[in-house]
Structures are given as structure tokens and as C-alpha cells.
Structure 1
Amino acid sequence: MRLNRSAAALPLLLALAACARQAGSAVEHGPDTPGFLLGVWHGFIFPVAWVLSLFMPDVAIYAVPNNGGWYDFGYFVGIVFLGVGARSTRTVYRTRIVRTRD
């Protein structure tokens, strides 16, 4: 049942993501645009930046303009490997061993 809901939600999420676009005039690539390392930093500080962005209109969680794919990859690395995604979600402790007779 859970798999069916996930399978139904996936096309809807992809359709929603397809609607996202950015104005070409807003993106200007230059030597001072954020790259991979700033993407890593912005991904790492994402939780704090997101909370601040709720209360401060001049704080954003994503740098525009940026240099494209390398910034995105750095942002991903910052979130998944260094930031929020790096925390362990569960710790398993082995407290007893059950022995069965053969």
C-alpha cells in the first residue's frame, strides 16, 4: 500500500519540479559567481539559513546567480554528507541474544 502511494506521488513531484524555472536575465555567469566550494558551504549551513529566511527577507538558502552544475553539486554534498543528511537516524543496540534449540 505504501509503495503504491509513493509510485503515485512520484509523477506528481516530477511534474511540479518541471514547472520550476529561472529567468535567464537573472543568471549572469562571471568570475565572482558562487561555485563548488560556496555550494558546499551553503549546503552545510542550510538549516540555519532556512530558519533565518523565514524571518529575514534578505536571507536566502540558495545563491542566485551561481555557476550551475558545480554549485548544485557542492550544495548537494554540503547537505547530504556534511549537513542534515550526515546525521545518523537510528542507533541499534544489541541487549540480549535469543538462543533456539536445534
Structure 2
Amino acid sequence: MRTLILMLGLPDMSTPQLVLFMAIVGVTLLLFGWISDLLLRDGAFGIILNGFIVIGGAVLGTLAWRKLGYTIGTNPALTTSLVALGSGLALLILLTALRRWL
């Protein structure tokens, strides 16, 4: 788990900090899942699966962004956050569109 956190560009954390971080990720997962369930209505996958799709897309988008080495602006944390949000939502919309067409 620590390797993944370091790959995402987050600092190395102690065990209590890691537990708190995972709790925040869990609450965020449910929040994103609930909001996307409200927005997509019938096309949604369910609160928990929507959250996992958004979080998974955010992780993949962040890893790809860091691998490509792009930097925009003077605040890399803000840029990375926006890339993560955009890639997570893009993956959810793509999977929803594929589900409706198939």
C-alpha cells in the first residue's frame, strides 16, 4: 500500500496517518458514488461501484499524468487533483455509455 501511495506522489505516512487516509478515501468513495448515482440515475452502476470506478479512474489518470511528466501552472498538487477528478469522471461516463450501447 505504501508503494502505491508513493507512486501517486503522496508523502510516506506512519500507520495512524495511513489509517486516517484510508478512512478519508472510503468516505470520498461513498460520496463520489452517491453524487454520480444522482447524476446518472438509471445508467448508474450503484453507489459503491460508481465510487470504485471514479477512484480507479482517478488513480489511473494520476499515474499516467505523472508518467508523461506534464506540468501546467505553478501548483502541481492542484493540477494533479484536477487531472484525477477529470479522469475518474471520464472513466465513469465512458463505462456508462458503453453499458447503454451494449
Give the TM-score normalised by the residue count of structure 2: 0.31
Q: Which has the higher contact order (CA 8 A, sep 6+)?
A: 1
Which structure dedicates a bigger proportion of its chain to helix? 2
How does the TM-score come out when normalised to structure 1? 0.31
Compare CA radii of gyration and give the structure with the larger one.
1
